[in-house]
Structure 1
C-alpha cells in the first residue's frame, strides 16, 4: 500500500478501474498519497462508472437512476476526498457536474467554502502531506505541512499539501545544549529558519518562522512574512493558532540581540534558559497563541533551516 501511495501513475493505469473496494478505500484514506486531489477525484468518478454495468462516460446519456447508482457506488469514498484542496475552477468544472452523485450536505458545505471560505461543518481529513518530511521530535509531517502553507500565507481555511520546502535540522537543544550560545553557534547565518519549542510538563508546542534568519548583530529587522504559532501537541490539527506580524510593526518583527537565542519582536523570545511571551502589539492577537507574560522552561527546542525548492 505504501508503494502504491508513492506512485501517482497507478491512477492512470488501465488496470486501476478493477481495483478492489477495500484497497481503494485504504489508498484514498492515506495522508501520504502523492497525487493532486483533483486527480484522486477524477479517478474515483471513473472507477465508479466502471463498476456500473452499461454506464458510459457521456453524462448527457445519464438518467436520474444512473446518478443514483453512481452515488451508491462512491458514497463511502466521498469523505476521503479533500475537497478543500481542490481549486475553485476544478470544483466548478469537474466536481459540480456530479452534484447528484454527492451527498447534498457535503456538496453544499464545500460550495459554501469556495464562496465564503468558511470551514466545513462535516469532519474533514487533513491535507495530504505529499513528500514533505521533517526530522523533528516535536511535530509530525502533517503539522510541518501546515507550517509550509502558512509560509505561503495561506490561512487556516486554506491549508493544502506542499512539497516545495525542505526543513533541515540545525539545532536540537537536548543534544546541543539549551542555551543561547549553543543556539547561536548552530543557527547564525543559515537563512530562513523555523523554531519549535516544547515546554516542560506540557504537550503544547510553540514556534515561530524567521524568514531572514539569525545573525550576530544587535538590531531590529523588518520581516513581513514572519509569524508565531502554537499547537496543542505534536499531532494536533484542530486547535492550531497563528499570529502574524502587525502591518504597522513590520520593521520590528525580528530582534537580534547577542544574549538572546531567538527573538520575535520581543513577543516570543529565548534567553537565560527560559522562553518568554511578552505583551507586545508587534504580532497580532498574540494572546490567542499563548498566555501572555509566561516564561516557561523549555524541555526541547528545535530549529530547522527552511529552503524553498519549488517556485510558489
Structure 2
C-alpha cells in the first residue's frame, strides 16, 4: 500500500486540482479489489465523494456503478468483476469464440457478462444452482487462497437441474448425469499472475461426453474442477486436456459467476 504519511492537506488539494479534469476518464471499475485497496483508497480525499462511495459499494456490496463510466476501450469487454478486468474478459470472449486475440477481431464479437452470483466465504452451492438454473452459458471465477490464484470454468449450456438439462447422458454404472458439450473449458493463473490472461492456462474438454457432471457440486469432468460447500474445491485432471493446477485441493476465498451473452 502507498505510504502517504508525509503528505499534508495541501498536497492532497494540489493533486485533486491536477487530476480533476481527468477523473471522469479513469476506468476505476476495471481494476481489481486489491488494486483499489492498495492504490486508490489511500487517495480518497482526491476523488469526488459520490464516486468513491460508488466504487466502494461496487467492491463491498456487489452494487452496479451509479456514476457514468467510460465505455471499455477497443479490445475490451465490459464486466463488473472484482476478480478480472475488461481486457481479461475480452480474452475470455476470444477463448469462447475460438479466435486469436487481437484488438480488431475482439471488436467484432460483442459479448457481455452479466453478474449472477458473487460471494466470499460461506457461499452456498444450492443457492448458486438455483440462481444459475435455466440460464444460458455461464462462466465461473474463483479466487483461491493458494498463490493468490484465479481459476474458473466456462459452461456453454448453464447449470441446470437434472430434469431440465438438455443433451444429458447417464453413466448407469456410477449413477452420474453428464452434460455433453465440446465447448466447455477450465483455466487458471497457474503461475500466480493475475495481471494478464496471456499467462493463464486454458484446458478444453477432450471427452465431450464427460464435460460436466451433474452432482450436488459445481463439477467439471467429475474431477477436473469440482467446487464444494465449506469453501473447498478439488482438482484432478481427467477429461480436460491441460493441467491447470499443481495441487489437488484448494481453499476458496471468493466466487463470481456471470451469464455470458453474445450480442450479434
Encode CA deviations 1:238-287: one digit per residue, 9 max, x unaligned: 411101111xx111101111x21x2111211111331111131x1102x2
Encode CA deviations 1:98-123: one digit per residue, 9 max, x unaligned: xxxxxxxxxxxxxxxxxxxxxxxxxx
Q: Which structure 2 residues correspond to residues 39-54 of structure 1 after superposition, within 5 A?
A: none
RMSD between aligned alpha carbons?
A: 2.8
Alignment size in residue pairs: 181
Q: Cα gap change, 1:32/1:168 in structure 2, threshold over 3 Å: closer, same or farther?
A: closer
The equivalent residue for 2:199 is: 239
Tell me, yes or no, if the aligned pair for 2:204 and 2:240 is still in contact at 8 Å.
yes
The equivalent residue for 2:181 is: 223
More helix by share: 1
| Runs of at least 5 residues in structure 2 that lack an aligned partner in the other structure | 1-21, 26-70, 163-175
Q: TM-score, normalised by structure 1?
A: 0.52
Post-superposition offset of 1:160 = 4.6
Tell me, yes or no, if the aligned pair for 2:72 and 2:78 is still in contact at 8 Å.
no
| Runs of at least 5 residues in structure 1 that lack an aligned partner in the other structure | 5-30, 35-127
The equivalent residue for 2:167 is: none
Q: Secondary structure at the match of 1:181?
A: helix
Q: Partners of 2:160 and 2:100 in 1: how far apart? A: 29
Encode CA deviations 1:41-90: one digit per residue, 9 max, x unaligned: xxxxxxxxxxxxxxxxxxxxxxxxxxxxxxxxxxxxxxxxxxxxxxxxxx
Q: Which has the higher contact order (CA 8 A, sep 6+)?
A: 2
Q: Which has the larger radius of gyration?
A: 1
More strand by share: 2
Of 113, 117, 123 in structure 2, the residue corresponding to residue 178 of structure 1 is 123
Q: Partners of 1:242 and 1:164 in 2: how far apart? A: 21
Q: Partners of 1:167 and 1:233 in 2: how far apart? A: 22
Q: Partners of 1:183 and 1:229 in 2: how far apart? A: 20
Post-superposition offset of 1:193 = 0.1
Q: Partners of 1:157 and 1:133 in 2: how far apart? A: 16
Answer yes or no: is 1:299 the counterpart of 2:244. Answer: no
